[in-house]
Amino acid sequence: MTAQLVLRDKTFDVEAGQTIRQALDRLDIVPETVLPVRHGKLVAEDELLKEGESIRLVAVISGGVEGFA
């Protein structure tokens, strides 16, 4: 039983039945750097991956100008 996590141009086959967080940890993807999206909606890291589904991981972009308020 597998599901897929898609980050940019990479697709990772992962075991279904685990949480998104567990899958990210196993892939060495820092959970705070991505937002998991299922069918266009954000999902929590504790959601279980279902067989055959695909979760898109949107990279979080942070930064800014220091001292700018």
Beta bridge partners of 41: 38
State residue 64's pLDDT score.
63
State residue 62's pLDDT score.
74
Residue 64 included in any domain = no
If one counts the domains in the chain, the total is 1
Single-letter amino acid, residue 50: K
Residue 65 included in any domain = no
Residue 25 included in any domain = yes
Residue 10 included in any domain = yes
User: What CATH number does the domain containing 22 carry?
Assistant: 3.10.20.30
CA separation for the pair 69, 41 (Å, rounded): 31
State residue 61's pLDDT score.
83
What's CA 4's distance to the chain center, in Å? 10
> Which domain range does residue 7 map to?
2-59
Residue 66 included in any domain = no
CA separation for the pair 45, 42 (Å, rounded): 10
Residues of the chain with pLDDT under 50: none
Residue 15 included in any domain = yes
The C-alpha R_g of the chain, in whole angstroms, comes to 14
